[in-house]
Amino acid sequence: MIASVRGVVTATGPDQAVIEVGGVGLAVHCAPSTLAELRVGQPARLATSLVVREDSLTLYGFADDDAKQLFELLQTASGVGPRLAQAVLAVHTPDAVRKAIANADTAALTRVPGIGKKGAERLVLELRDRIGPVPVGADGAAGVTGGSWPDQVRQALVGLGWTAAQADQAVAAVAETVDGPTPPVPVLLKQAIRLLGRTR
């Protein structure tokens, strides 16, 4: 089990980073909010969870151990694999996930791509008693990780190597396409990357 990695970030992409540890580059799948904190050439530490399949070994990375533990707990629910568990943490903070499950807030859970009403109800039913302590003093509404989506997308783009000006232009262009409920940050980030790819 690879519980954490510490090393120099050698590359970042839309959904993963490469961290060199002892001369070996490890590809670590991360949420956009985690990627936004990484800088190529700088040291970093990520809590990690290794998912073993017959045909693959996939390493998922998190900013802290709390997010990693929740990632692993989410996978104990029926129908939740590592990609869906990471999608939950890309849309919500760990505290927001706990509040949503503890309060049976299925509306918040269905904001995650891949989780419908029945899936949200199943998460509440199976995890409510095991989700751990829920922060006191908050309104219970699930919030988006790391501030507003424009800030998250802008930070992620700069972290991926674009200039602040390019990131601002891409965020503005994406904002013009948002009509109605705001899509999850990973969807908006991929849209911004596609736009910037055309202008390079």
Give the pLDDT of residue 17.
95
Does 140 have pLDDT greater than 60? Answer: no
Residue 116 lies in a domain: yes
Does 144 have pLDDT greater than 60? Answer: no
Give the pLDDT of residue 133.
72
Distances (CA, A) of 178 to 85, 117, 149, 184, 192: 25, 23, 11, 11, 12
CATH code (residue 28)? 2.40.50.140
Residues 91, 77 within the same domain = yes
Residues 58, 75 within the same domain = no
Give the pLDDT of residue 51.
93
Residues 101, 114 within the same domain = yes
> What percent of the chain has pLDDT above 70?
92
Domain boundary (16, 32, 62) is at: 62
CATH code (residue 76)? 1.10.150.20
Residue 134 lies in a domain: no
Give the pLDDT of residue 198.
60
Domain boundary (25, 45, 62) is at: 62
Domain boundary (74, 94, 128) is at: 128
Tell me which of 198 and 52 has the higher pLDDT: 52
Tell me which of 100 and 200 has the higher pLDDT: 100
Confidence of residue 44 (pLDDT cuts 50, 70, 90): very high
Residue 141 lies in a domain: no
Does 143 have pLDDT greater than 70? Answer: no
Residue 135 lies in a domain: no
Confidence of residue 197 (pLDDT cuts 50, 70, 90): confident
Distances (CA, A) of 98 to 81, 134, 142, 163, 166: 18, 6, 9, 36, 36
Residue 181 lies in a domain: yes
Average pLDDT over residues 33-49: 92
Residue 133 lies in a domain: no
Give the pLDDT of residue 187.
80
Residues 8, 52 within the same domain = yes
Confidence of residue 199 (pLDDT cuts 50, 70, 90): low
pLDDT in tens, 152-192: 788 788 777 788 888 888 888 888 887 777 777 778 888 88
pLDDT in tens, 70-118: 999 999 999 999 999 999 998 888 888 999 998 899 999 998 889 999 9
Residue 136 lies in a domain: no
Domain boundaries, position 46: 4-62
Give the pLDDT of residue 43.
95
Residues 160, 179 within the same domain = yes
Give the pLDDT of residue 106.
92
CA neighbor of 88 nearest in space, from 69, 63, 114, 66: 114
